[in-house]
Amino acid sequence: MSALSKILRNWRNPDNGDEGLTFFCPGCGDHHSIRTKGATAWGWNGDVEKPTFTPSVLVRSGHYVPGRDKDGCWCTYNAEREAKGEKPSKFKCEVCHSFVKDGQMQFLSDCTHALAGQTVPLPEWTEDGT
Ligand SMILES: [Zn+2]
Ligand SMILES: [Zn+2]
């Protein structure tokens, strides 16, 4: 990956030639990636400072993934750890749904994180959520 700006990095998959962008999501405290070249690519306005992606970016993990097996997800994994007196992992079952427009993330109300319904600027790149 290489840095395009303070907020965006780009990547290329040498196996299939797909290209894409990765940014840090302040709602999830983690990175999201979109494909800009290849099958089911997103539209990108080419702006590295104030990017706009179309359509919306929807990220689901754990038991929110459609069709996922109901036995065991991050909720049960973390509950088991806590039952054993261990710290829960940093992974959570989440939905993150946003429109990225002019460098702003407009989080929709179906997000499970604290920024649901809010609009915040894309933050500077962070390696992890800590
Ligand atoms: Zn997110
Ligand atoms: Zn879960």
Tell me if the bond preceding 55 is cis, omega within 30° of 0. Answer: yes
Task: Residue 97: give the domain boundaries.
Answer: 2-121
User: What pLDDT, on a 0 to 100 scale, did the predictor assign at position 41?
Assistant: 96
Q: Is residue 129 part of a domain?
A: no
Give the number of domains in the chain. 1
pLDDT digits (tens, 9 = 90+) for 34-77: 999 988 899 999 999 999 999 999 999 999 998 887 678 999 99
Q: Is residue 126 part of a domain?
A: no
Which residues are near ligand 2, the ion (C-beta closer than 5 Å)?
Answer: 62-63, 73, 75, 93
Q: Is residue 31 part of a domain?
A: yes
Q: Is residue 38 part of a domain?
A: yes
Q: Is residue 37 part of a domain?
A: yes
C-alpha to C-alpha distances, 43 to 18, 52, 64, 77, 115, nearest whole angstrom? 14, 8, 25, 36, 24
Quote the pTM value: 0.87
User: How many CB atoms lie under 10 A from the CB of residue 126?
Assistant: 12
The ligand that comes nearest to the alpha carbon of residue 62 is: 2
Token match 């499970």: residue? 112
Q: Is residue 22 part of a domain?
A: yes
pLDDT digits (tens, 9 = 90+) for 89-109: 988 899 999 999 999 999 999
Find the 22 Cα to ligand 2 centroid distance in Å: 25
Q: Quick one: how far is CA 32 from the chain centroid?
A: 3
Which residues are near ligand 1, the ion (C-beta closer than 5 Å)?
Answer: 25, 27-28, 96
DSSP for residue 44: E
Q: Is residue 130 part of a domain?
A: no
The ligand that comes nearest to the alpha carbon of residue 77 is: 2
